Amino acid sequence: MSLYWRIFLLNAAVLVVAVLLLLGPVTVSTPVLFGEAIVLVVAVLLLLGPVTVSTPVLFGEAIVLVAGLGAMLVANAMLLRIGLAPLGRLSRAMATVDLLRPGNRPQVTGEGEIAELTATFNTMLDRLEAERATSSGRVLSALEGERQRIAQELHDEIGQTLTAVLLQLKHAADRVPEPVRGELHQAQETTRASLDEIRRIARRLRPGVLEELGLHSALRSLAAEFTTTRLSVSAHITPGLPPLDGATELVLYRVAQEGLTNAARHSGATRVEVHLRPVPGGGTGLLVRDDGRGLGAAPEGAGIRGMRERALLIGAELAVGAGPAGGTEVRLDVTADHHGGSRP
């Protein structure tokens, strides 16, 4: 039972027993119990009012007492509803809070304990969001470092090993009879395809083009990488955008990469557009829009949660939803204070 109904029923019981006491059938213990004392106080206050009660109670007086009881119960219910409304709003805010969507705070109204509790809850949310952003930053930094290490090992160890295998296969194919040579050529093609796949994975783990040529070239390269016979990806970059710091460029690149990955794997899209453009207030916005089936009622997966974690690191606003013509739209808006001395 909610707090509202517990208080209301307790008050209603006191009022009903007080009225019954006036009507006569209620007895009082000796010595008087604490609850009975409260009822007696209410009854005495009723007796001190302008309404007199006969002994025995007349029918008309009983009607007046019952009507007065009903009016008091209605007034009690309204006052409780008004008084406990801030507590209800705070309870709903607690139930719906999401640290990946910061900024939503219950409004502090009035004074007293409930207002103090709401303000304390807002302060706790501020601290939790700051700690979440700090811890997420450490985790994502460690993740990027591990990605670079794995990409380096794939390139240096496995890539070089497969290259050596290709050379050995070519050398063997030049010296064996014709029936065996065809099988060796097939093994060469399989090894070459595996080497290309490893290089592609290494590029995704460590975007070297982002470090060397900047975000604009990296987005164009990403669009070309995801373009296939089934999926067309185009990059549209507004000229004259101000430079961004390195951390912001990495977040934009990873969000675009995750958006394109989701579009290629899950949406059934045939066309995806990647836009990098200015937004009101002097910021920079990234938009990834596809013509697929959309999100529907599916819950957010690890990919979208990862994008929200990255957006929190730079204080950007991330929105994932349906596009104006269907499909899915991923929008990331970066404020102007993240522009600065990075790559041109």
**Domain end residue (candidates: 96, 131, 164):** 96
What is residue 250's predicted lDDT score, i.e. its pLDDT?
87
Domain that holds residue 32: 3-96
Number of domains in the chain: 2
pLDDT (0 to 100) of residue 241: 86
Do residues 90 and 216 share a domain? no
Q: Is the four-CA dihedral 188, 190, 191, 197 of positive or negative sign?
A: positive
What letter would DSSP give residue 93?
H
70 is a domain residue: yes
pLDDT 10s digits, 154-170: 777 788 888 888 888 88
Last residue of a domain, one of 78, 96, 114: 96
C-alpha closest to that of 51 among 39, 33, 69, 36: 69
Q: Does a structural domain hold residue 170?
A: no
User: Does 147 fall in a domain?
Assistant: no
**Structure confidence at residue 274 (pLDDT):** 92
Cα 254 to Cα 237: distance, rounded to the nearest angstrom = 17
**What is the structure's pLDDT at 286?**
92
Give the end of a domain, one of 68, 96, 124: 96
Within a 10 A sphere around the Cβ of 260, how many other Cβ atoms? 24
Give the pLDDT of residue 342: 42
Backbone angles phi, psi at 327, to 5 degrees: 75, -160
pLDDT at 32 (0 to 100): 47
Low-confidence residues of the chain, pLDDT below 50? 26, 28, 32, 47-48, 341-344
Residue 29 CB partners (closer than 8 Å, separation 6+): 36
Contacts 24+ apart (CB under 8 A), 221-226: 222/253, 222/256, 222/257, 222/260, 222/274, 223/260, 223/272, 223/274, 225/200, 226/260, 226/261, 226/263, 226/264, 226/272
29 in any annotated domain:
yes
Give the pLDDT score at 344: 35
Q: What is the pTM of this model?
A: 0.59
Indicate whether 101 belongs to any domain.
no
Does 152 fall in a domain? no
| CATH value at residue 323 | 3.30.565.10
Distance CA 64, CA 105 (A): 47
Given a contact cutoff of 8 angstroms between Cβ atoms, the answer to whether 223 and 286 are in contact is no
pLDDT, position 72:
73
Q: In this structure, is residue 52 part of a structural domain? A: yes
Task: Please tell me whether residue 293 adopts helix, strand or coil conformation.
Answer: coil
92 plus 212 within the same structural domain: no
Is the separation of the CB atoms in 215 and 253 below 8 Å?
A: yes
Structure tokens at 236: 């549209």
Q: Is 327 left (phi over 0), alpha (psi -120 to 50) or beta?
A: left
User: Please, are residues 110 and 320 in contact by the beta-carbon 8 Å criterion?
Assistant: no
Q: Is residue 61 part of a domain?
A: yes
Identify the residue whose tokens are 């709903």.
Answer: 92
